[in-house]
Amino acid sequence: MKYNLEFLFDLVKRQLTSFFPLSSAEEKVIKDILPAVMDKAVKCYANVDNKYFHKDGEVYFSPFHSGQYLIFLYYLSHVISCELKILTFGGGELQNLSRQDLLS
């Protein structure tokens, strides 16, 4: 499956900065996790029985397909919030918190 991580990063960054300022640390986290996010999304797309998720016998991703992009954004938010780091957009600080820290 072919996709351009730089294009995806730019797309997400443009959408987020339309609403929130992003610090360089936040941008770095987003850029760094994109490969993991796409791995999760590709696994999901591979199991979808829909002609728009496959092309020439391979898994196909287009950020302009609303269903595919929605799944991608879900995995992006999930990886950021649950598996890596918690971003605090207001202060621009990056905090290392575990799930246990969040629940206490």
**What's the pLDDT tens digit per position in 71-87?**
999 999 988 886 554 54
Q: Please, are residues 45 and 67 in contact by the beta-carbon 8 Å criterion?
A: no
Reduce the secondary structure of 18-29 to three states and give it as a string: CCCCCCHHHHHH
Note the residue count of the chain: 104
Task: Determine whether 42 is exposed, middle or buried from the number of CB atoms within 10 Å of its CB (0-12, 13-18, 19+).
Answer: middle
Q: Mind listing the pLDDT tens digit for each residue in 4-22?
A: 999 999 999 999 999 988 8
| Overall pTM surpassing 0.85 (yes/no) | no
Which amino acid, residue 33? I
